[in-house]
Structure 1
């Protein structure tokens, strides 16, 4: 039986904006089916990497494949949640309508959903525990509720990959835990590869299978065991980092003073 096709393939890829090289020599594969963080210091090019994956930015050199095709070719099979989810839709839209747009509002312009599409919207709202506030406007929702709606909209078209840009930013600890648990459930039940940009690894450590990390201007990929390394993380963030294993078997990283 042949091995599954990688979710992402980068071969000697570099990206230049203006006259500045954002990063170069990206040469790695990301296996399909996992939850993968994209990490690095501010300005390292994390969002740039997402734009390359989505086909919004053409590399200066090298080859990129996303789900076995050129970037952008299968964007209808990728659910993308940007940092500023809601700003493009408007604060007045209802949560249910925002999710419906994931089916009816992108490829053909806004149209009335079919009964089957309405049923699918209801199923995905239930899957992310958003049914109870589905009729509220986005402006009325908490940060955690907005993230559930964002995930529902990204999931409703049955994607093979989810790309999440800082989904835990500005959430309190309880909501971070709930969204991370939801991401784990989505990965398991829907079989979706999840690529998530994150500044803080700790909330995601229980569910991560690996990480793309941008080190010294070069993106790399490794499994979680290879990434959660004191020397690597200290070099990556430019400050001493300690990896802690608790007696209960939990793992977290912290700045070492």
Structure 2
């Protein structure tokens, strides 16, 4: 497949060429080509176990590709790149963890800093600016474990933006959130990509909360894939061909319902990406 050209003829933020991933004898996806432009949001869809989160791990340099190449701004992907920010799945913090909202965001500020740290005043100002950008100033001093799932996701978005990334990876960030908080997270990601001119790769089970902000869809199913606008990909005939089975796509009041998708559940792609530290993204460092 021919990837869509990057907008404004600029170098793509992320470029995938013939990327293939096999785990043992199982092929998750193969020969995927994609150019992700600055300011573009591509949703990654597919059944459980299709390899959506594994694709993000490969872009993070945490999972070696079986074939093909992946580059970020022309450089091969590598573990710990500050050019990449990660918003992970929503996971409630441990009740015993003595971490405030500003501390969680501060982990992202410090994540790639070698040698002398930022002066205390400069670091605090940076954390305050990030908190304000995601509307989290009011619980900066609150223990993270006392915050709701949606409030914690605000902080994780701020943390992901702390390293001034060029590429933002979102790994099921809406999971376990109610509709109101799903809409909030989608809005914050959209605002960040427009304000900072980010490329965004957004893994999700349900496209409806982000349907209004998606530019293109990468749909993975049974080793194959389709790339295009939501209107081009989310069609009964396209998904039926991908799955080799009858799949119905229904459009109603601006929402999309996909029915009859075979479930390829497999342990390798169900866990998602945990937030990770300094050189491997734990704590959301890029």
Tell me which interval the TM-score lies in, with the shorter structure as reference length: 0.7 to 0.9
Larger CA deviation: 140-149 vs 75-84: 75-84
**Structure 2 residue 245 is the aligned partner of structure 1 residue 242:** no
1:122 match? 128
TM-score calculated relative to the size of structure 2: 0.79
TM-score calculated relative to the size of structure 1: 0.87
Q: 1:161 aligns with which of 158, 162, 167?
A: 167
**Structure 2 residue 53 is the aligned partner of structure 1 residue 50:** no
**Distance in 1 of aligned mates of 2:78 and 2:240:** 35
2:256 match? 253
Give yes or no for contact 1:104–1:113 (8 Å, CA) kept in 2.
no
Q: 2:153 aligns with which of 147, 153, 161?
A: 147
Give yes or no for contact 2:90–2:174 (8 Å, CA) kept in 1.
no
- CA-based RMSD of the aligned residues comes to 2.7
**Structure 2 residue 140 is the aligned partner of structure 1 residue 137:** no
Give yes or no for contact 1:44–1:214 (8 Å, CA) kept in 2.
yes
Larger CA deviation: 216-225 vs 177-186: 216-225
* Superposed structure 1 runs of 4+ greater than 3 Å apart: 84-88, 105-114, 233-239
Structure 1 unaligned segments of length 5 or more: list them: none
* 1:99-110 matched pairs, under 5 angstroms: 99-108=105-114
Greater RCO, 1 or 2 (C-alpha within 8 Å, sep 6+) = 2
**Distance in 1 of aligned mates of 2:127 and 2:102:** 7
The 1:77–1:85 alpha-carbon spacing in structure 2 relative to 1, beyond 3 Å, is: farther
**Distance in 2 of aligned mates of 1:183 and 1:206:** 12
The 1:68–1:223 alpha-carbon spacing in structure 2 relative to 1, beyond 3 Å, is: farther
Give yes or no for contact 1:35–1:210 (8 Å, CA) kept in 2.
yes
Larger CA deviation: 190-199 vs 222-231: 222-231
**Distance in 1 of aligned mates of 2:180 and 2:8:** 41
2:31 match? 25
* Aligned-residue offset at 1:180: 1.2
Structure 2 unaligned segments of length 5 or more: list them: 1-6, 261-286
**Structure 2 residue 70 is the aligned partner of structure 1 residue 68:** no
The 1:2–1:199 alpha-carbon spacing in structure 2 relative to 1, beyond 3 Å, is: closer
**Distance in 2 of aligned mates of 1:127 and 1:86:** 22
* Aligned-residue offset at 1:224: 3.0
